Amino acid sequence: MAQLYAMLNCFQYPRMSIRMTMSSPLDSRHGVQLNLGEQTMERSLQNLYAMNGGEGPNSYAQNSSYQRGVVDVAKPIIEEEIAMKLDVKQLLSTNTKSFRIADFGCSTGHNSFPAMQIITEAVEKKFRTEGLNSQGPDFQASLDFAYCSCALNWLSEVPKAVADHNSPAWNNGKVHYTEARQEVFEAYSNHYANNIGAFLDARAQELVQGGLMALLVPAVPAFKNSGTSYTTPTEIDLIGSCLVDMAKKGRFGEEKVDSFNFPLYFTIPEELKTIIGRSDNFNIERMEILNNPGKRTLRSANARATYLRAVFEGLLINHFGSEFMDELFELYTKKLAASPHFLDPDNEKSIIYCSSQAQS
């Protein structure tokens, strides 16, 4: 099973003039590249999907304790970064009373609210410690502090080469790059690098002088063969095996499985460092490893299956149809229960990863 890491990246933007325009931002929650201005949406609306809404037993709201755990564990790091790095006097010098926060990873559910509370309380404390109580900001929509949690592992789309029958990266019979051919892995890796680069470019245009950005990025610990293909089976592969079994039973054609891939990529710290290093705006400053207590609420096969159903069901329905979902996740639960390695919380870690732009 791939160990799941979370990275918190804190970036401080250099004090320079910024054009406050949006340029090709990545909506990584739903795996969609959105382009504004003269560009159009890269993918049609029919290919969009979201986490399960509502408050029911299969909803994302009832099955996102893991993501909430990431927020809770990151709290002291975010508070410390705001206390140490956020220049409130510089912010006041811009003659604005507003303080703007953006969450680029929010979905259905409530996890964005505690994250925003952590940030606003930390900023208010920073103003108090600087003796600026009477000059504290209004918290309005803006990008003085940008935040994204458990979202940047989603690609803008499945790499085109992976779905091309004539490409050496065609991933027939599999639904992800784990244990696949090197060409498949490279297609995913290159697409991820391009997505993160576009995300950083867009955020660089939006952050004001002295603004900070914090990212929580799911990742894996290591690759085989000195950084090539990741080899440890994951729960995504387990879903893939269930889909293959159902195709063999005639529930749908094998071509349905061959044409489906998860638009997900789990990076490693070294790779992310390289990608960020290509940016002219952000430099790496800090990396920490910690455990996420939220994952310990998912120790039963049923709880784990319900959690993944809340995350993936919309994507799976879009390709296979809603009539197969109960059968798919019942089969998945049985396979998961027979594989205790996937349910061991000690097999998962979280990386908190922070960075700051060097000041000139």
In a domain, 335, yes or no: yes
In a domain, 303, yes or no: yes
CB-based contacts of 69, cutoff 8 Å, min separation 6: 292, 293, 294, 295, 297
In a domain, 161, yes or no: yes
Task: Give the position of tokens 């560009």.
Answer: 39
Percent of the chain with pLDDT over 70: 69
pLDDT tens figures, 119-153: 989 998 998 898 887 666 656 545 778 888 888 99
In a domain, 76, yes or no: yes
In a domain, 338, yes or no: yes
Interstrand relation of 5-12 and 212-219 (parallel, antiparallel or unpaired) = antiparallel
Residues 354 and 8 sit within 8 Å (Cβ to Cβ): yes
CATH, residue 211:
3.40.50.150
Residues 160 and 32 sit within 8 Å (Cβ to Cβ): no
Domain range for residue 130?
A: 5-354
H or E stretch covering 32? strand 32-33
**Which has the minimum average pLDDT: 22-26, 111-115, 177-181?**
22-26
Q: How many domains does the chain have?
A: 1
Q: Which class for 328: exposed (0-12), middle (13-18), buried (19 or more C-beta within 10 A)?
A: buried
**Which has the minimum average pLDDT: 59-63, 82-86, 245-249, 252-256?**
59-63
Residue 339 and residue 334: Cα distance in Å, rounded?
Answer: 9
- Is-above-0.75 flag for pTM? no
In a domain, 359, yes or no: no
Q: Which two tokens mark 340?
A: 């205790």
pLDDT tens figures, 340-352: 777 776 656 455 4
